[in-house]
């Protein structure tokens, strides 16, 4: 989250529901009572405005930036908070779909792409096959595992701890894993 802020009064904002109009008629001529509730209108006007537009606060494309930062935590995105605003809006908008895919290879790939901006290589040990005869060979490796390789231009710019944290959160829960960050430029042969 980039920082905390508080919503407060907005200079010149008029209340959609002025309290003075709702007082009994006996107070209509009371100057003190009308000034008193006008002060309350100043405090309540932003609240009424937020309530009237509440749906927009939960729409990622429309939410104010500080509220969007709260939403990213609320829906469990794998962001660190320093991403550009469009990326954070996209993360909130796609969070439900990503949670449905959590624990799958495709979900892990999408989560890593969202978190780091590049497509990761995910290698898993499992496999599937069928056989017309019993006791056929088992597919995949003998030891269950998952390996994630993130190829980027500058490997030093990627926080390896964050990569491991994102993989640990989005991987199938039962699989041990390894994760590495490498350069997109392959090493020359023979070195």
- Quick one: 111 and 50 in the same domain? no
Pick left, alpha or beta for residue 136 (phi over 0 → left; psi -120 to 50 → alpha; otherwise beta). beta
For residue 34, being part of any structural domain is answered with: yes
> 31 to each of 11, 12, 18, 98, how far by Cα in Å?
22, 21, 15, 58
- Quick one: 127 and 189 in the same domain? yes
Instruction: Name the residue range of residue 33's domain.
Output: 24-55
Task: Report the domain count for the chain.
Answer: 2
Question: What pLDDT digit, counting tens, does each position of 106-151 carry?
Answer: 999 999 998 888 899 999 888 777 888 888 777 777 788 899 999 9
Locate 176 and state its tokens: 């041990």
For residue 124, being part of any structural domain is answered with: yes
For residue 81, being part of any structural domain is answered with: no
Question: What pLDDT digit, counting tens, does each position of 65-103 carry?
Answer: 888 988 988 988 877 778 889 989 999 999 989 889 988
pLDDT score recorded for residue 190: 56
């Amino acid at each position: 989250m980039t920082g905390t802020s508080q919503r407060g009064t907005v200079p010149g904002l008029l209340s959609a529901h002025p309290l003075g109009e709702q007082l009994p008629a006996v107070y209509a001529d009371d100057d003190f009572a009308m000034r008193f509730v006008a002060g309350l209108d100043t405090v309540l006007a932003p609240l009424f405005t937020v309530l009237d537009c509440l749906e927009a606060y939960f729409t990622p494309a429309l939410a104010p930036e500080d509220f969007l930062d709260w939403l990213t935590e609320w829906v469990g995105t794998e962001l660190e908070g320093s991403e550009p605003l469009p990326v954070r809006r996209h993360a909130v908008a796609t969070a439900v779909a990503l949670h449905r895919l959590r624990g799958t290879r495709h979900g892990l790939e999408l989560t890593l792409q969202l978190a780091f901006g590049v497509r990761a290589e995910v290698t898993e040990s499992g496999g599937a096959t069928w056989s017309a005869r019993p006791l056929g060979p088992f597919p995949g490796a003998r030891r269950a595992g998952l390996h994630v390789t993130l190829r980027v231009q500058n490997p030093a710019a990627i926080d390896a701890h964050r990569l491991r944290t994102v993989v640990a959160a989005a991987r199938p829960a039962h699989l041990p894993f390894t994760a590495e960050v490498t350069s997109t430029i392959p090493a020359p042969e023979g070195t």
